[in-house]
Amino acid sequence: MAWINNIPSQITVFIAAFILALISGAILLPLLRKLKFGQTVREDGPKTHLVKQGTPTMGGFIFLIPLLIIGGYYALEDTNMAALVLTTAGFGLVGFVDDFLKIKRRNNEGLKPKQKMLGLLIVSACFTAYIVLMTNAGEKTVIPFVGIDNPVNVPIALFVPFCFFVLVSYTNAVNLTDGLDGLAGSITMIVLVFFTVVAMMNSEWNSIKLFCAILAGACLGFLAYNLYPAKVIMGDVGSLALGGAVASVSLLLQMPFILFIAGFVYFIENLSVILQVAYYKKTGKRIFKMAPIHHHFELLGWKETKVVIVFLIATVIFCSIAFYALR
């Protein structure tokens, strides 16, 4: 049994989180059905999504529970792990309140936009304060294709608002990406695996490596219940948590611009909504058949599974480019 001690820690926690997520799902799914925590589908969305009406939501707890258990264990002795776990949970809490209000009101009206933004800003402020006061991560940032060993200096006056921007942007971007069965979960899992590999380059990033591996493994376990046809939907409790997680990791690694490349699908999804809204307000016409852009491809006749696979392959390609950008 000595070979067990030779297994890299990131693989160990990945497998442990995967198993815990499978167990969490097996326990939570019947509970969510019993409580009638069902998804309310947008009436203006694709008609093929009407069959999802009533599918249990708040499935994000399936991957958050393993993160809190395993990550919480490491967080007892590691401040970076504690900051990442608490920040992810904080964003998840904002999403939970939003989900709960939607379920209670039986419509898509959860938190008001200003209330939701306030919650995201509060969590972002806490994490930004941690980076500025407790680490040196805010002093420099890595520029793609310049090299991981040649980060540029960042004035604190620029870093603080930039930190807020990254955190809020990615929570919303992942939230928008979560529109198809398995889409947000699979893409984020690949991005987290990418950052796990990146964090292996430096022993000082051990806690970040473990955090990413834990959440990636938990996401894989969640996908067992979320792939088409989904038995559960992650809800805002999951999408906001995942967005906050990848953004927080990129900031601690001084690599928010690397995340831009690795998570380029998030950017495309976000941009499609911005362009659609702006163009419609100006002309009364639409650029896409529906935004976010994954719905556009659905209305072009692509099957839901095809959209997810294509976006997933694109993410693998973008992560490969991002890795090359570090060399």
pLDDT value, residue 41: 63
Q: How far apart are CA 190 and CA 182, in angstroms?
A: 12
- Residue extents of the structural domains in the chain: 7-325
The pTM is what?
Answer: 0.94
pLDDT value, residue 42: 60
Distances (CA, A) of 119 to 83, 96, 191: 17, 11, 25
Q: How far apart are CA 41 and CA 118, in angstroms?
A: 25
Comparing C-alpha atoms, which of 187, 193, 303 is closest to residue 234? 187
Contact 219, 238 (CB under 8 A): no
Task: Please identify every stretch of the chain with a pLDDT value under 50, giving residue numbers as ranges.
Answer: 1-4
Comparing C-alpha atoms, which of 218, 267, 271 is closest to residue 241? 218
All residues at 6 or more sequence positions from 164 whose CB lies less than 8 Å from its CB, including other chains: 121, 124, 125, 128
Inter-residue long-range contacts of 322-327, CB under 8 Å, 24+ positions, other chains counted:
322/144, 322/194, 322/258, 322/259, 322/261, 322/262, 323/194, 323/197, 323/198, 325/144, 325/145, 325/258, 325/261, 326/142, 326/144, 326/147, 326/148, 326/198, 326/255, 326/258, 327/147, 327/148
Q: How far apart are CA 74 and CA 53, in angstroms?
A: 39
The model's pLDDT over 149-196, given as tens digits with 9 standing for 90+, comes to 888 999 999 999 999 999 999 999 999 999 899 999 999 999 999 999
pLDDT value, residue 132: 95
Which amino acid is it at 2?
A
